[in-house]
Amino acid sequence: MSGTGQKPKSQAAPPQKGKVTTTRQTRPIDTEVQERGKTRATGAVETDEDEHEIGDSEKGRSFLEGRLLMVPAGALLTLGALATTLFQIAAMPGVALPAVNAVRAVAFLLRDVELEVVAEDIRDIANAQLNELTNDLKTFTEVLTEKVMEELEKKTEVLKEKTVELAAVVEKAAQQAGNTASSPYRDALTRTASGAPMDANPRLAAKENIRQ
């Protein structure tokens, strides 16, 4: 009987061990919850500090470069560089999918804007070059026209002088031709009046006239 009475006491020990086990399982859970709370609190504090620290573009750039979200450091800031930074931010661990999609959407839009800006810049450069070429061509044409007109005026003056000289030569030749054509008629009249040939001796011709 006494042995039977002792067995219940020995059977009562397992529930006590169970309680101890339950207590051991509860402590890690509480500790984990506390650590998570501390982590969240720490994260909130860090975020607040970052928000307070970033008050201008210089600090913002330093923040991004320090976390290797914008590389290389000191690179030229363009829309494409900002788009790449947004893609890096979207790839950070712990970012929710909606936030990832939103950031990536903005990044793609920035790239499209950059392409439009680049295309506009190229168009402006092309227009400027075309306008400059047109102005140069216009200036060259004006100078060439002026030179041609000067040469044409010089040639015209020379042509006028040559024309006047040629007219004088033609007129002189015409006068000489007229004199030559009237000489036989004048000689015939002289020969008829004198009765002597044109090639006769003047004295003989005079005598012939006296006799007549």
Output the tens digit of pLDDT for each of the chain's 212 residues. Answer: 444 444 444 444 444 444 444 444 444 444 443 444 443 344 443 444 455 567 787 888 888 888 888 888 888 878 888 888 888 888 888 888 888 888 888 888 888 888 888 788 888 888 888 888 888 888 888 888 989 998 988 889 888 888 988 888 888 888 877 666 556 655 655 655 555 555 556 666 666 665 65
Residue 141 CA to residue 147 CA, distance in Å, equals 10
Residue 186: per-residue pLDDT: 59
Domain-located, residue 98: yes
| Cβ-proximal residues to 190 (8 Å cutoff; 6+ apart), any chain | 198
Q: Which domain holds residue 162?
A: 70-171
Residue 159 lies inside a defined structural domain of this protein = yes
Signed CA dihedral, 128, 134, 139, 140: sign only: positive
Query: Does residue 82 form part of some domain?
Result: yes
pLDDT of the residue at 120: 82
Residue 114 lies in a domain: yes
**What's the pLDDT score for residue 121?**
80
Q: What is the CA radius of gyration of the chain?
A: 62
Could you tell me if 61 and 70 are in contact, meaning their C-beta atoms sit under 8 angstroms apart? yes
Residues written for the chain: 212
Looking at the domain assignment, is residue 133 inside a domain?
A: yes
Work out the number of other CB atoms within 10 angstroms of the CB of residue 86: 21
pLDDT at 2: 46
**195 domain residue, yes or no:** no
Total number of domains constituting the chain: 1
